[in-house]
Structure 1
Amino acid sequence: MQINSIWGSKKKISFWNRLFKRNKKIDKELSTPEIISKNCQGLLLGNENLKSFLFSTDMALIENNDADAILAVYPFPPSPKIIKTLIDFSGKPVVCGVGGGKTKGKKSLEMAIYAEEMGASGIIVNIPFENKDIKKIRQKVSLPIIATVATSDYDFLKNRIEAGVNVFHVSGGTNTNKIVKEITAKFPGFPVMATGGKSLKDIEESINAGSKAIVLSPPSNKDLFKTIMDKYRDTF
């Protein structure tokens, strides 16, 4: 059956490939857009240059994707079990969430230290996280610290950098690419990664705005199964 992909073409393709199309042979079921590997400069975390991050803690999705790294962030307090399991399981770099609005202070510091001990490639903190807590983590942990931001306010970003942040992850909804462009103008050379949006055009615009890496949000298992089950039902 011919389907309209969100890239604007009509082609027999899987649900995932409607989101993340590649023109070369696919080794994994969930493939990332070729434009990322070709056009992104990449972020150097440890000794690896990373261009694509899968935003997921789902082991089935992690196992079946070809992104360079995993962004392990979830709307609950950080868990040592999750941190260890994902790092052991993934077989690729993992950036672990250690704090935001719910988790901060001593707990976040403990999780950051634990993530480093377990072999994480970086840690990430969310928008409400306080600079004083970033400073405490920076004193104890050598991992790159990524901070999610949704603004290009100069003073806010400058304070983040002075606290010890190494990379900005821009997640500004429809304003993401505008924010990326403004940050790269205000802080030339400072590493920025961005949420990739829902289309190749969004991803291309993020790269052109100055994003060195793209964060990809995969479809849920529910959505993947819906496509499969619709096909199976049509068979009978």
Structure 2
Amino acid sequence: MSDEQENAPEANGPKPIRIGKRSLFTPSEAVAVEQHSVTPHVSRTRYGTARIEGRLSSPNARVPAVISQHCGGITVKGHTLKSFAYTTDAVIIRNTNANAILAVYPFTGEPVITQALLTVAQMPLFVGVGGGTTTGPRVAELAMVAEMQGAAGVVINAPAPAETIETTMLMVDIPVIATVTEDDETTECKILAGAAIINVAAGARTAQVVASIRMHHPEIPILASGGGSEERILATIEAGADAITWTPPSAQQLQSQMMAKYRGEA
């Protein structure tokens, strides 16, 4: 018996089931709202920068271009950082193009949180180690652990005294960022205590506080919150900020926008 006769179905046997070329699970154009190109998109900006976008990359957590265009930046270990994304959202951290992450949260600092954020971060991570809710020796201890885990720097909250800045500076080799809300005697003491970077978080008065600190300390690196508009970001940079903290949209906000698109509401 030949191979063809052996593999041929019997005359009275069940007929073979023919599977169509299209699977039930192959999305149609109407169903697949997100269509991705096969190859990465390559372009060049008017500044001469070659840009490559992966087929699955998303522009939704991108830093405003005004920051990179106008900021001088702060160089840490050879990396010039102009934009700091103020977030602890792992999804946003993984998809933003910020130069660094400012991971400060309103709970007692825990090394396991730092480790989780370091796992997804593709850029330098500056993590909060207390100063408000967490005080005393624990701040310096958390800073030491963060340094061992691989954090690029640590952030100490505004209520912490200058002594906490000084103690932490003596125990770690990574930059200590001191958050301030005013240009006052406390800020002066924190600068004298050795804070590597001053982080100005003064709300609507941020640009004014930055200008005041810059006038008294032209050499100190200043990181400052940029607010929600390009006008405020530019005003803060012109006041003397070297780098800007930018708050990206949350993953929940982006998901809501995507679902509205899926429902045909946007």
**With structure 2 as the length reference, what TM-score do the two structures score?**
0.76
Identify the structure with the greater helix proportion. 1
Q: Deviations over 1:109-149 (max 9, x none)?
A: 11100111111111111110122222211111111111111
SS across alignment from 2:115: helix
Structure with bigger gyration radius: 2
Does residue 158 of the first structure (1) align with residue 188 of the second (2)?
A: yes
Q: Which residue of 2 aligns with 1:223?
A: 253
What's the offset of the Cα at 1:235?
Answer: 5.8
Q: What is the CA–CA distance in structure 1 between the aligned matches of 2:196 and 2:86, rounded to whole Å?
A: 19
Q: What is the CA–CA distance in structure 2 between the aligned matches of 1:73 and 1:52, rounded to whole Å?
A: 15
What's the offset of the Cα at 1:157?
Answer: 1.9
The CA RMSD measured in Å over matched residues stands at: 1.9
What's the offset of the Cα at 1:225?
Answer: 1.9
Give the share of equivalent positions with the same residue, in percent.
37
Q: What is the CA–CA distance in structure 2 between the aligned matches of 1:35 and 1:26, rounded to whole Å?
A: 20
For structure 1, the 5+ residue unaligned runs are 1-21
Match of 2:69 among 38, 42, 62: 38
Higher relative contact order (CA 8 A, sep 6+): 1
What's the offset of the Cα at 1:26?
Answer: 8.1
For structure 2, the 5+ residue unaligned runs are 1-44
- Bigger Cα displacement from structure 2, 112-121 vs 26-35: 26-35
Q: What is the CA–CA distance in structure 2 between the aligned matches of 1:86 and 1:55, rounded to whole Å?
A: 13
Contact map agreement 1:45 1:122 (CA 8 A) in 2: no
Paired amino acid for 1:105: G
**With structure 1 as the length reference, what TM-score do the two structures score?**
0.85
Q: Deviations over 1:13-40 (max 9, x none)?
A: xxxxxxxxx9996844221122211211
Q: What is the CA–CA distance in structure 2 between the aligned matches of 1:228 and 1:173, rounded to whole Å?
A: 30
Match of 2:161 among 91, 110, 130: 130
Match of 2:226 among 196, 203, 214: 196
* Greater than 4 Å deviation, 4+ residue runs: 22-26
